[in-house]
């Protein structure tokens, strides 16, 4: 990325002047810090001489005179934060349509009559709603009235600061860090997902449906849309599940917390709010989809310390951590996580993540609860839905549950007789 473009939307001209200085200072400091790291410069006098220079261009000239410019530094020098500023919502929407920006700084009070309006009717709030409807982009609201931001906007995504602090230079750094967060790289305009969807639309979709047009066209509009969305989802999943071989996944990929679907689904995870016990739904998906199930089948999720052999291995890993975990214990943990340990027949491993403690589904500890579809509550327990298991992992859970109850075993062979046949 050669440049990082910020759009300032604020009717105060002084804010534009402050942003101009902030961008210039940020570009200089960013360049100097990279140079210091590359050349391992620690001399305070030399660092001070660079920092006192007016711009990164002046810094570059001095470094060139000192013979410290190379291709890596040239590449860093080529990167700059740039900005444009507008004072009204109309100018902002026109410029967002005409140009591409990486991030926005927005004031809430863009019109003098805003003071007499409800919070949600502030011109800045209306602008933000329009932007959110059209763009996926890092936004920092910088305003003298932080409490006036609309309650309809997701404050986990849109950051709100007062105009007193942090400084605009710090805000610029925050926006770059915010943009580099993978969510915006993936989902933002011209991000990876956007490119993949375009690739799918122009190249994959025509090829996949070339000889299947009648199968698609025979469907009603709503069904057709769902089919194509599911097709896109499957294609993206396959694209990132395999490379030269099967790719390892991260624990977070096993969960979707919360589950955005209101209905009960197979492998939904519930918690009893009275005793914090966790349960997973094992009722077949076909019964749940057709609302046939009046009773919902659950298996209890045991904590790690309730499964003795696994807990012993984890404790051994904890005590060995300073000196390095042994390969033997790593293999034991791996076998439990793959559900291939000799003691794991009745269990299914759930990895620990920041929002869920994980544990083991215990197929031998089952409970059936009657569900009231009107109140959407279970009659025997006070359960709340935490989330669900994602589709790639559901199949194995259901298959292992079926396998656990289908197993019949066989009589044990006399080992002495067997050996006599071979020896």
Q: Where are the domains of the chain?
A: 3-186, 192-241, 253-406
Q: Return mean pLDDT, the chain.
A: 88
CA distance 238 to 144: 48
397-419 pLDDT tens trace? 999 999 898 876 677 788 888 78
How many other C-beta atoms can be found within 10 angstroms of the C-beta atom of residue 315? 13
Q: Is the dihedral of CA 346, 387, 255, 359 positive or negative?
A: negative
Are the beta carbons of 272 and 301 closer than 8 angstroms? Answer: no
- The pLDDT value recorded for residue 244 is 58
Q: Is the dihedral of CA 384, 388, 389, 394 positive or negative?
A: positive
Are the beta carbons of 255 and 331 closer than 8 angstroms? Answer: no
| Of the candidates 287, 265, 208, 242, the residue with the CA atom closest to the CA atom of residue 394 | 265
- Overall fold of domain 253-406: SH3 type barrels. (2.30.30)
Q: Is 96 exposed, middle or buried (0-12, 13-18, 19+ CB in 10 A)?
A: buried
Chain CA centroid to CA 109, Å: 32
pLDDT band at 182 (very low <50, low <70, confident <90, very high): low
- Residue 230, token pair as written in the block: 């599911």
Instruction: Give the up-direction half-sphere exposure of residue 62: CA atoms within 13 A in the CB hemisphere.
Output: 18
| Identity of the highest mean pLDDT range in 169-173, 175-179, 312-316, 404-408 | 169-173
CA distance 202 to 210: 12
- Residue 26, token pair as written in the block: 């940020």
Bigger pLDDT: 392 or 29?
29
CA distance 335 to 344: 9
Specify the DSSP class assigned to residue 146. Answer: G
CA distance 382 to 398: 25
Q: Could you tell me the CA-to-CA distances from 212 to 197, 198, 233 in Å, in that order?
A: 20, 20, 19
- The pLDDT value recorded for residue 254 is 94
State the architecture of 3-186 in CATH terms. 3-Layer(aba) Sandwich (3.40)
Q: Is the dihedral of CA 292, 295, 296, 299 positive or negative?
A: negative
- The pLDDT value recorded for residue 411 is 79
Kindly state the average pLDDT of the residues 23-49.
Answer: 93
- Report the interhelical angle of 44-51 vs 56-65 (nearest 10°): 130
Are the beta carbons of 105 and 158 closer than 8 angstroms? Answer: no
For 172-233, the DSSP string reads: HHHHHHHHHSHHHHHHSTTSHHHHHHHHIIIIIHHHHTTT-HHHHHTS-HHHHHHHHHHHHH
- The pLDDT value recorded for residue 273 is 94
284-307 pLDDT tens trace? 888 887 777 889 999 999 999 999
> Does the N-terminal peptide bond of residue 365 adopt cis geometry, omega within 30 degrees of 0?
no
Has residue 202 got a pLDDT over 80?
yes
Are the beta carbons of 352 and 243 closer than 8 angstroms? Answer: no
CA distance 397 to 71: 53
240-294 pLDDT tens trace? 776 556 667 889 999 999 988 888 999 999 999 999 999 999 998 888 877 778 8
Over its C-alpha atoms, the chain yields an Rg (Å, rounded) of 29
């Amino acid at each position: 990325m050669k440049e990082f473009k910020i759009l300032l939307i604020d009717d105060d001209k002084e804010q534009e002047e402050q942003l101009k200085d902030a961008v210039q200072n940020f570009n200089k400091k960013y360049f100097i810090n990279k140079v210091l790291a590359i050349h391992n410069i620690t001399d305070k006098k030399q660092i001070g001489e660079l920092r006192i220079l007016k711009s990164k261009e002046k810094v570059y000239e001095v470094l060139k005179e000192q013979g410290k410019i190379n291709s890596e530094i040239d590449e860093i020098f080529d990167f700059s934060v740039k900005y444009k500023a507008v004072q009204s919502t109309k100018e902002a929407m026109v410029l967002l349509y005409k140009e591409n920006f990486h991030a926005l700084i927005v004031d809430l009070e863009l019109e003098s009559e805003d003071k007499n309006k409800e919070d949600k009717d502030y011109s800045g709030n209306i602008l933000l709603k329009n932007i959110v409807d059209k763009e996926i982009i890092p936004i920092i609201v910088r305003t003298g009235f932080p409490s006036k931001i609309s309650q309809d906007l997701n404050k986990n995504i849109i950051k709100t600061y007062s105009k007193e602090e942090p400084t605009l230079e710090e805000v610029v750094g925050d926006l770059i860090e915010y943009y580099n967060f993978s969510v915006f790289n993936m989902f933002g305009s011209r991000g990876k997902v956007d490119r993949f969807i375009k690739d799918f639309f122009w190249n994959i979709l025509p090829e996949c449906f070339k000889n299947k047009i009648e199968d698609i066209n025979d469907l009603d509009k709503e069904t057709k849309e769902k089919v194509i969305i599911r097709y896109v989802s499957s294609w993206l999943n396959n694209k990132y599940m395999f490379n030269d071989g099967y790719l390892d996944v991260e624990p977070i990929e096993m969960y979707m917390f919360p589950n955005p679907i209101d209905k009960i689904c197979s492998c939904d995870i519930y918690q009893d709010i009275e005793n914090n016990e966790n349960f997973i739904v094992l009722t077949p998906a076909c019964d749940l989809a057709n609302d046939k199930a009046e009773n919902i089948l659950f298996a209890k999720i045991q904590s790690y310390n309730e499964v003795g052999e696994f807990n012993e291995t984890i404790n051994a890993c904890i005590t060995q951590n300073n000196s390095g975990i042994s390969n033997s214990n790593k293999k034991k943990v791996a076998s439990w996580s793959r559900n291939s340990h000799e003691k794991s027949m009745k269990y299914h491993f759930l990895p620990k993540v920041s929002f869920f403690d994980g544990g083991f589904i215990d197929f031998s500890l089952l409970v059936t609860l009657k569900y009231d579809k009107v109140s959407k509550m279970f009659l025997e327990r006070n359960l709340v839905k935490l989330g669900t298991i994602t589709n790639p992992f559901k199949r194995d859970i259901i298959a292992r549950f079926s396998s656990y109850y289908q197993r019949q075993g066989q009589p044990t062979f006399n080992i002495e007789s067997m050996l006599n046949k071979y020896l």
